[in-house]
Amino acid sequence: MQSGNVKVQLEVTKINSTVTTEFVLLGFSDISKLHEFLFGIFLVIYLIILLGNGTIIMVTRLEPALQTPMYFFISNFSFLEICYVSITLPRMLMDLWTQQGNISFYACATQMCFFLMLGATECFLLAVMAYDRYVAICQPLHYPLIMSHKMYTQLVVASWVSGIPLQVGQTIQIFSLPFCESHQINHFFCDIPPMLKLACGDIFLNELVVFIFAVLIVTLPFMWILVSYVRIISTILKLPSNTGRSKAFSTCSSHLIVVFLFYGSASVTYLKPKSNQYEGTDKLLSLFYTILTPMFNPMIYSLRNKDVTEALRKFLLKLAAW
């Protein structure tokens, strides 16, 4: 009798699922009257992200005083932010302009795959930056030996490539699921939580895999960052000079602000239980870590960093002289 019920359930799943060739991103269709306003706002934000992070990259590469591992990580992080936001924002701008959210099956899978890979890179790179600050403050005499050119280059390369196999596998797993007749994604890009809501049948195993990957890629690097900063703060408090303490806190606080902005919103999105009640909140959280955080990063790293501010001033003076 039980096997018969399973067969019936499978047949119902097959009937309700269709061969999916296209999805529809609903985005902000529930506030359609504000489409033009939102398009203008997000276009300005995108230009700010490109200009701000692009300036950070240029200044840190051209200024001789900033040729250190820390600024090498910051320039990589700025480049990552440009790539990260370019996965979602141009598509969202196009949907707002055309008021159509149609996206093909393979385009949706490609967007998700790159979004997940770059998200993993951001988690790993933030952990690497925390390690760099730990070595610089807690082991200053060994810093040049530990953080050699070869070492920090390898750390950056590892941050970029480590998440690729995991996230490609996760994308394949998600898009191998049977999808029900409704192909409307209640989001502004193809992300895991809204995609799972469209899947037919039992997806417990898929949700478990997503949770495990989130723990590996989000939680473990975050725990590493916390441990690093506990030791960093403990060391800073022991410094005899108030000036030294102030400079160390200023450098580390910029990184911590970025960490909590990114991890706070991303963790709530991927680690909280699935629910249809807070889809609007999910969109707002996604906006925070996909768009607003990349916009704030250049301000955080430049306005709170005297070396970057001075290098930027020199760069602007040279630019004006031309």
Query: What domains are there in the chain, each with its CATH number?
Result: 2-321 (1.20.1070.10)
Residue 271 is predicted with a pLDDT of 64
Determine the Cα–Cα distance for residues 231 and 134; give it in Å rounded to an integer. Answer: 7
Determine the Cα–Cα distance for residues 58 and 150; give it in Å rounded to an integer. Answer: 22
Determine the Cα–Cα distance for residues 195 and 282; give it in Å rounded to an integer. Answer: 13
Low-confidence ranges of the chain (pLDDT < 50): 1-17
Determine the Cα–Cα distance for residues 207 and 197; give it in Å rounded to an integer. Answer: 11
Residue 3 is predicted with a pLDDT of 43
- Residue where the block lists tokens 């997806």: 203
Q: Are 11 and 93 in contact (CB under 8 A)?
A: no
Q: Are 104 and 159 in contact (CB under 8 A)?
A: no
Determine the Cα–Cα distance for residues 101 and 193; give it in Å rounded to an integer. Answer: 18
Q: Which residues of 282-302 are buried (b: 16+ CB within 10 A; e: fewer)?
A: bbebbbbbbbbbbbbbbebbb
Q: DSSP state, 65?
A: G
Determine the Cα–Cα distance for residues 303 and 250; give it in Å rounded to an integer. Answer: 11
- Of the candidates 269, 270, 271, 272, which has an alpha carbon nearest to the alpha carbon of residue 283? 269
Residue 127 is predicted with a pLDDT of 93
Residue 9 is predicted with a pLDDT of 42
CB atoms < 10 A from the CB of 240, how many? Answer: 6
Determine the Cα–Cα distance for residues 263 and 79; give it in Å rounded to an integer. Answer: 19
Q: Are 56 and 301 in contact (CB under 8 A)?
A: yes
Residue 304 is predicted with a pLDDT of 66
Determine the Cα–Cα distance for residues 17 and 308; give it in Å rounded to an integer. Answer: 54
Determine the Cα–Cα distance for residues 2 and 6; give it in Å rounded to an integer. Answer: 6
Q: Are 261 and 293 in contact (CB under 8 A)?
A: yes
- Of the candidates 133, 140, 124, which has an alpha carbon nearest to the alpha carbon of residue 231? 133
- The alpha carbon of residue 106 and the mean position of all alpha carbons in its chain are separated, in whole angstroms, by 22
pTM: 0.86
Residue 146 is predicted with a pLDDT of 93
Residue 124 is predicted with a pLDDT of 94
